[in-house]
Amino acid sequence: MIKSIEKILNVQIEKESYSSHLYLSMASWAEAAGYEGISQWLYVQSDEERLHMLKFIHYVNERGGNAIISAIKVPPAKFDDVMDVFQKVLKHEEFVTASINEIVALCNNEKDFTTLNFVQWFVAEQIQEEKSARAIIDKLKLLGKQNLYLLDKDIMAMRAAAEPVGGVA
Ligand code: FEO
């Protein structure tokens, strides 16, 4: 495996691991605050990020590289409110999308079309991840606080109806 590709994929492993940790922290905050649906959405999101991390780990190892498991930085534990949480989810997903795009650019530079093909799944996934965060923010903007209870139930139903994420590579 090309060294520069192995390096950038290991950086991505760390980012996906942090994403899982960040959403776990948000889920725990929401659960403690009594938002059952929102916490469930975030717990599942955290699990999905772990699957993303595993996809990268397996890919690096299967292609003859060495996947590195590094320390995860501590995520924030306190949030102002539900809007604050989802704005941070969106901001984080935009950051991850930029990272995936950097991998795509490097694959093109290095003419690594195998990794380019592998990473296409993540390009498509990022569109969905940003879309769901924006959809929830839009709903939050429409609602007053008294309706948060109903939104909480609505989000739980969204998660239940969602397509399961693709299996581990
Ligand atoms: Fe794995 Fe939400 O990006």
**80-91 pLDDT per residue, tens:** 999 999 999 999
Q: In this structure, is residue 96 part of a structural domain? A: yes
Q: In this structure, is residue 9 part of a structural domain? A: yes
pLDDT confidence of residue 150: 73
Report the candidate in 87, 98, 89, 93 with the shortest Cα–Cα distance to residue 25: 89
Where residue 75 sits, what CATH number does that domain have?
1.20.1260.10
Q: In this structure, is residue 168 part of a structural domain? A: no
Q: In this structure, is residue 43 part of a structural domain? A: yes
CA distance readout (Å), 125 to 2, 63, 119, 129, 151:
24, 22, 10, 6, 24
pLDDT tens column, 13-67: 999 999 999 999 999 999 999 999 999 999 999 999 999 999 999 999 999 999 9
Give the distance (Å) from ligand 1 centre to CA of residue 128. 10
Q: In this structure, is residue 41 part of a structural domain? A: yes
Nearest CA to ligand 1 atom 1: 49
Quote the domain boundaries for residue 152.
Answer: 3-163
State the total domains in the chain.
Answer: 1
Q: In this structure, is residue 169 part of a structural domain? A: no
Nearest CA to ligand 1 atom 2: 93
